[in-house]
Each structure stands twice: as structure tokens, then as C-alpha cells.
Amino acid sequence: SNVPIIAIDGPSGSGKGTLCQTLARHFGWHLLDSGALYRLTGMAADRHGIALNDELAVAELAKNLDVQFVPGADGEPTLVLLEGDDVSGELRTEKTGLLASKVAVLGAVRDALLQRQRDFAQLPGLVADGRDMGTVVFTDAPLKIFLTASAEERAERRYKQLKSKGDNVNLATLLMEIQARDKRDSERELAPLKPAADAIQLDSSGLGIEEVFERVLAEAKIRL
């Protein structure tokens, strides 16, 4: 297709989320937060009492996700409604991340979300945030970034992020949860977390948001 796409993959806490938002705003492009789709699917299963390993039932939920993204006025964050309920807070918790990584191992669920994700590729362009954007969903993306950072640094960033939202979190627990989720994401059979062959690998440890953004911008000038 003729839609320019920047595919950004990496583990949780690598700074992908912020980077993608900054890039999307900079270019005036659409943003796909693919993790949110897996999170919402996990939450929907939890709500409906569907076992997280009931592949067909969870895939059915994924196909029919009743989600609305309501942009906040005056720089307020976007509200996320699942089946009409505001789940914006719950969406980002590590508990939800765990639900997401459990339903994300299911092939039928990944298939169910594939077209929904590809539909985000609209002019003038798309910044896609996830684990398999470069390897599965947008294999033709002209710019692919694989963003990493040490587990400790990622846990600390997540800690600050959750703490600032008023979550009562513990750093050591968070580190363990993040490592467990990374392991599940990296070792799964389908669309495991790994850099695409043509991805640029970037380690954000010790780098500020601004520095990471500038580096990606420099690559964008070359590749897009």
C-alpha cells in the first residue's frame, strides 16, 4: 500500500508508548496501540468469565470487541470504554498486562485482531506500537524499530508511570512481573517478540525520551 508506516516493537517499558505518541503527533499520523487490543481482549474474557485458554471463545470476543476510544478535551487523556464502561485506569495495570499476554499466545485471537490492526493503515501515515508490528502485521513497513532497555530500567519507568497514576505498586514485584511477561512474549510460538530482520535496534537505557525521538527521526529521514 502507499501508506507510510513506522513499526515499533519491543518489550514493555522500553519507552515505545511515549515514543509512538510523540512520533504520531510530530507527523500528524494515526497511532495503533496494538497492546491495548490484547489488553481489552483479556479484560473482556475476564469480565465474561471465559477461561483465558478457551481459544475459540476468546477469539470470538476479540472479533466482536465493543470498544470506544473517546478523545479527551483540552489535552485530557483518551478515555477507553469497554462495553460502555470506562476502563481507562484498569487498561494499563500489570494485572491487565498479564491477562493480555495470556490471550496473546492464542493463534485464533491473533488472527481475529490482525485485520482490525491493518485497518489502522490510513493516510497520511501510521505509527504502529506492539510486539509483532514489523514481523507479522506490517511486514512491508519502510521503517522498523526494535526498542529495548534493561529490565531494571524498564521496571523503574513502569513504576514511575503507575505511581504517578496513583497505583500502589512495588518495584521488586513489578520487575518480576515484567520479566515473566517478557519471557512469555519472547518464548511463545506465534509472533514471538523479536526484531524483524530489517529492524533497527535501539537500546534506550540511559537515554531520554527526546534523544530516542531524535534518533528515530533521523532514521525516518533516511527511510521514508
10 near ligand C5P, rule: CB under 6 A: no
- Taking the complex as a whole, the smallest distance from the CB of residue 74 to ligand C5P amounts, in Å, to 26
Stretch that binds ligand C5P, among 68-76, 93-101, 118-126, 155-163 (CB under 6 A): 93-101
* Inter-residue contact 113 to 42 (CB < 8 Å): no
Which CA distances in Å does 8 have to 117, 150, 194? 14, 17, 11
Q: Which is nearer to ligand C5P, 197 or 222 (CB)?
A: 197
Cα–Cα nearest to 169, from 114, 92, 223, 80? 92
Q: Which is nearer to ligand C5P, 111 or 218 (CB)?
A: 111
Cα–Cα nearest to 202, from 19, 31, 3? 19
> Quick one: which of 4, 15, 130, 134 contacts ligand C5P (CB under 6 A)?
130
Total residues binding ligand C5P (CB under 6 A): 14
Is the four-CA dihedral 195, 100, 207, 138 of positive or negative sign? positive
177 near ligand C5P, rule: CB under 6 A: no
101 in a known ligand binding site: no
User: Does residue 124 have a cis peptide bond before it, meaning omega lies within 30 degrees of 0?
Assistant: yes
| CA 9/CA 88 separation, integer angstroms | 22
- Taking the complex as a whole, the smallest distance from the CB of residue 56 to ligand C5P amounts, in Å, to 18
* Residue type present at position 183: K
Stretch that binds ligand C5P, among 23-31, 35-43, 163-171, 196-204 (CB under 6 A): 35-43
DSSP state of 119: T
> Quick one: which of 4, 23, 94, 97 contacts ligand C5P (CB under 6 A)?
97
What is the contact surface with ligand C5P in residues (CB under 6 A)? Answer: 12, 34-35, 38-39, 97, 100-101, 104, 130-132, 181, 185
